[in-house]
Amino acid sequence: MLLIPCPWCGPRSQIEFTYGGDATVRRPALDASEDEWFRCVYVRDNPMGPHDEWWTHSAGCRQWFVVRRDTRTHEILGSTAPGAAMPQADR
Amino acid sequence: MLEKGWLGGGNTGRNTTIVRSNYHLDPNAHFYELSLKLWERLSQELNFNVMYSARGVLNLVHSPADMDAAMRRGNAMRLNGIDAKFMTRDEIAQWIPNLDCSADARFPIHGGLLQPRGGTVRHDAVAWGYARAADTLGVDIIQQCAVTGIRTEGGAIAGVETTQGFIATPKLGLAVAGHSGHVAAMAGLKLPIESHVLQAMVSEPVKPVLDTVVTSGAVHFYISQSDKGELVMGGDLDFYNSYAQRGNLPIIEHVVAACLALFPTFGRLKLMRTWGGIMDMTMDGSPIIGKLPVKGLYMTGGWCYGGFKATPASGFCLAHTIAHDAPHALNAAFTLERFAEGRMIDEKGAGPYAWAH
């Protein structure tokens, strides 16, 4: 069971949360090239190791936030509100 | 053939052994139907009993909307020359007495779409049957040999770096589903793929109680009984990126709850074993089979959680593509470029979310 640290509610069981995917994807400008849009919509880094990802506390405060989690071990390395710096450094 | 671990130690030995070709969209229907045809005669072809059992794959229908979708898919299958049969609730109740077909079931069963030629194949036998046949044909199978790098020269494949040294080759095929993303990255490519963990589990072995494969899209559940007597079951992804080959308890609970809602009598069984495998989840839920944008590099992967049933057709199409440096008609639609070109093969219509397919 993942124990996910919601920045507002503290650590809670994963069953309260919904996954939202890679949080490093940035939306290009509306007039960006097709290739930039293709990369934004379809292409992912899919790293083996630390992964910054969106989660929403859907059965709690319903806020979206970013979790840094190791995809090899599921270890959670930190979490933060959107736009804020990740409190824990890379391991 | 380079294998980082041992033969059959990856997804070939971790799947739930189900084969079927009950697809709606043309490219999927024709590709998986070739696969099912190859499964039907694979034991003779390999001279190795892969224990193909055409016990049928039954997709349960739980609502009028489900019924419409099943009829539509069944009709599409029949138009493509694939066997499909709609079964009423009474027919199902007579065939599968353990299944709760009563009107007050938690998920009432309105009927089901059956593919009679679908069924199961013994996964370990497939790995060893293919290995023996390939070895006889002169293929070198090197186990405990991980690829650590891909060497290119002037935009073309020059060879692979491995834990046992460098191997020069002008052509390289990737068949590493689960890890396609990180192996393709060795050639400087980024794919429209995320790796996710899918769990499966077996009960303790019991005498024959279920002689078909039962699935339910509504409760995200599928079950069959192995020849050893275990009930083999699974459900959804864990729904987060993972390379860990193990998942978490909420999905196991979900699968078991779905099992007991459909088959109340199985509540007396003990769960014997659970495990996880890593899935290449593509952005449209269909595989990528063909040439990659490096000369001499080919891949078959992006299987989402349906790779096992594709094994024979995947091998056939990849071999054809490598030999001719051009895809076979049956994998021509499964290009990497389809994502940029807007030619998605999205069976479920779920959109570009890898874990939604």
Contact A44 B193 (CB under 8 A): yes
**CA angle, residues A26, A29, A30, in degrees to nearest 5:** 120
- pLDDT tens profile B173-221: 999 999 999 999 999 999 999 999 999 999 999 999 999 999 999 999 9
Q: Strand, coil or helix: what is B48?
A: coil
Distance CA B93, CA B349 (A): 31
pLDDT of residue A90 exceeding 90: no
B247 Cα to chain A: minimum distance (Å):
8
Distance from CA of A42 to the nearest CA of B (A): 5
Q: Which DSSP state fits B354?
A: G
Chain A residues with at least one Cβ partner in B under 8 Å: 1-2, 14-15, 19, 21-22, 34-35, 38-39, 41-46, 48, 51, 53, 69, 71-74
Q: What is the band of A83 on the pLDDT scale with cuts at 50, 70, 90?
A: confident
| CB pair distance less than 8 Å for A46 and B355 | no
How far apart are the C-alpha atoms of B317 and B314, rounded to whole Å?
Answer: 5
Domains and CATH numbers, chain A: 3-80 (3.30.2270.10)
Which pTM does this prediction carry?
A: 0.95
∠ Cα B302 B277 B145 (to 5°): 80
Nearest to B190 among A1, A34, A43 (CB): A43
Report ipTM for this prediction: 0.94
Place of tokens 């997709």: B59
The structure tokens listed for B185 are: 């990255």
Instruction: Locate the domains of chain B by residue range.
Output: 146-192+283-356
Query: Which residue among B182, B192, B240 sits closest to A42, beta carbon to beta carbon?
Result: B192
Q: Cβ contacts (< 8 Å) between B191 and chain A: which residues?
A: 43-44, 46
Predicted confidence band of residue A88 (pLDDT cuts 50, 70, 90): low
User: At B21, is the secondary structure helix, strand, or coil?
Assistant: coil
Give the chain B residue whose CA is nearest to the CA of A34: B340
CB contact under 8 A, B182 and A46: yes
Q: Please tell me if residue B242 touches chain A, with a CB cutoff of 8 Å.
A: yes
Contacts of B279 in chain A (CB under 8 A): none
Q: Most B CBs within 10 Å: which of A13, A22, A27, A44, as the mutation test of the B interface? A: A44
- Closest residue to A46, CB basis, from B193, B240, B340: B193
The pLDDT tens digits for A9-38 are 999 999 999 999 999 999 999 999 999 999
Residues 259-298 on B with a CB inside 8 Å of A are 283
Under a CB-based contact definition with an 8 Å cutoff, are residues B113 and B73 in contact? yes
Cβ contact, residue pair A44, B242, below 8 Å: no
Please name which of B97, B111, B21 lies closest in space to residue B57, comparing C-alpha atoms. B21
3-state secondary structure of B58: strand
Residue with tokens 């992967």: B301
Which of the residues in chain B have pLDDT under 50?
Answer: none
pLDDT above 50 (res A91): no
Which class is domain B146-192+283-356?
alpha beta
Give B45→chain A minimum CA distance, Å. Answer: 38
| Whether B166 contacts B157, CB under 8 Å | no
Decide if A46 and B283 are in contact by the 8 Å CB cutoff.
no
CB of B170 within 8 A of CB of B155?
Answer: no
Nearest-Cα distance to chain A for B271, in Å, is: 18
Cα A15 from chain centroid (whole Å): 16
The conformation of residue B331, written as its DSSP 8-state character, comes to: G
Q: What is the mean pLDDT of chain A?
A: 94
Q: Is B182 on the interface with A (CB under 8 A)?
A: yes
Contacts of A42 in chain B (CB under 8 A): 192, 283, 339-340, 352
Determine the length of chain A: 91
